[in-house]
Structure 1
Amino acid sequence: LSSGLATDDAFLRNDELTEFKDDTSKFFRASAKDAETVLDRETEENNGRAVLAAMNAALIDKVFSSTVKLSARGIVHFVECLVAVSEDEIAGNIKKGISGVGRSSRIVSETVLTPRTGSGHGSDGPRIFSLQRLVEVADFNMDVRPRISWTKMWEIMANHFAKIGCHENAMVSMFAIDSLRQLSFKFLEKPELTDFNFQRLFLRPFLHIMDDPGSREDIRELI
């Protein structure tokens, strides 16, 4: 009997030891997986920084300034793609600030850019790099596109600006509103674009933002 008890005792100890080994193994496997995920993320970020460091800022600017050379169909497709990228960038954590703001924009005022530049909120916050570039593309092409071509590209931009103007992040929506205001001032100064219907098309995003029940009160006051 005593030997039987000893055998049961040994059996229980072996079970406990096996369970402990299993738990330890699971812990280290989970830790290794987490470490691998962190390493992959850091590698991706380092690769991104390396690519940015290797790229000439002037060449990036040229991509957008050269849109004036695109065909009517080409510029519409370019704007569609840029809007799609902008939507992905802005779909970040709305509780954080905004990043990706540079000083290359010819339109957006310094009063909006200055507080955002150098934001340390990281890549999880909304980014407005493509939104800023969209403003520049509109500015570049305003003087060179026929009305029909400009109308097609502006309809795509206007819908995007109206949507972003109602964004829950105040800084994002204010950036969109300020961009619209600056473009509007420049647009309305052009004698050849004084047609009433054309002006109404250009100012439609403001009306959409004012009518949207989800838009912020301070944004409406800004308009």
Structure 2
Amino acid sequence: MTVSLEESRLDLLNAESVMAQIDAAQIDLLFDRSAGLELRAVLHFMGQLAQVSKEELACEEMPRIFSLQKLVEVAISNLMRPPEVWSEIWRIVSRHLADVASHHNVSIGLYAINCLKQLAMKFLEHEEVRQQETFGQVLLEPFEKLMKSKLASPEVKGLVVSSVDFMVEKRPGSIGAGWAQVFQILQLAASEPKSNKEVLDAAFAIMKVAVASRTLQRASTLYWLSAIAGLPPSASKL
């Protein structure tokens, strides 16, 4: 059944009327206390929050980012959980953010990338990440996915590259197995027909950090082969 624009507006007005009668502090408390839920409950809560966010963003006239903001906040507040469950939290949030990054409203897409970077950095700041060799790969997969996407705008892809540049510069020792994704992102950036000089400069900045990184110096040959594969197309564009 197709919902008319007038019905959508009425639903929105009804929702806003209900919200006006609820104490905002109590709503914030609900999200803040998610850290006290058992794992299965909090993962379900986050999944439902992502679904609500999807519905809010589907509104053509007035897409809302309230639930998207709260989803990121809930994820951050639950980073005190054991590292073994981080990948489950990241899977839910990053999948939704990657979808939002391809939103027809470019401003919302850019906001989603900034959220993705913010949350990824929160993970990378934890020392435990160094003990989880493959987690860097998990963190960078959504960024790689966006570089491959035909739906993501050039602006979004440019911000993806600069975000990865920021993460590599700040936390090179925490990237681990994610270096393979980093170099794949470099290749994809260089092959983009609309890549501008700023994007390519960011790509080369990543390469410089990679070469200087002690972690990468001890890394496997596979990472270095990925690095070499990413360099020629980038160089040809400068």
TM-score normalised by the chain length of structure 2: 0.60
Instruction: Point out the structure with max Rg over C-alpha.
Output: 1
Amino acid at match of 1:163: D
Distance 1:54 1:167, change over 3 A: same
1:30-179 matches, within 5 Å, as 47-93=14-60, 124-142=61-79, 144-179=80-115
Percent of residue pairs bearing the same amino acid type: 35
Q: Is the 8 A contact 2:110 2:155 kept in 1?
A: no
Deviation at 1:38, TM superposition (A): 10
For 1:89-124, what per-residue CA distance to the aligned partner results, in whole angstroms no more than 9, with x for missing partners?
Answer: 11121xxxxxxxxxxxxxxxxxxxxxxxxxxxxxx3
Distance 1:58 1:163, change over 3 A: same
Q: Is the 8 A contact 1:164 1:172 kept in 2?
A: yes
Q: Secondary structure at the match of 2:81?
A: coil
How far apart in 2 are the matches of 1:61 and 1:69?
14
* Root mean square deviation, CA, Å: 2.3
Q: Is the 8 A contact 2:146 2:152 kept in 1?
A: yes
Q: Is the 8 A contact 2:123 2:129 kept in 1?
A: yes
Q: Is the 8 A contact 2:31 2:74 kept in 1?
A: yes
TM-score normalised by the chain length of structure 1: 0.63
Counterpart residue number, 1:217: 154
1:182 to 94, 114, 118: 118
Amino acid at match of 2:58: A
> 4+ runs of 1 displaced by more than 3 Å?
37-50
Amino acid at match of 1:187: F
Relative contact order, higher structure (CA 8 A, sep 6+): 1
Deviation at 1:41, TM superposition (A): 7.8
Q: Is the 8 A contact 1:158 1:204 kept in 2?
A: no
Moved more, 150-159 or 173-182: 150-159
Distance 1:52 1:216, change over 3 A: same
How far apart in 2 are the matches of 1:38 and 1:132?
25
How far apart in 2 are the matches of 1:57 and 1:130?
14
How far apart in 1 are the matches of 2:101 and 2:33?
27
Q: Secondary structure at the match of 2:134?
A: helix
Q: Is the 8 A contact 1:159 1:205 kept in 2?
A: yes
Amino acid at match of 1:222: L
For 1:110-152, what per-residue CA distance to the aligned partner results, in whole angstroms no more than 9, with x for missing partners?
Answer: xxxxxxxxxxxxxx3211111111110111011x211232221
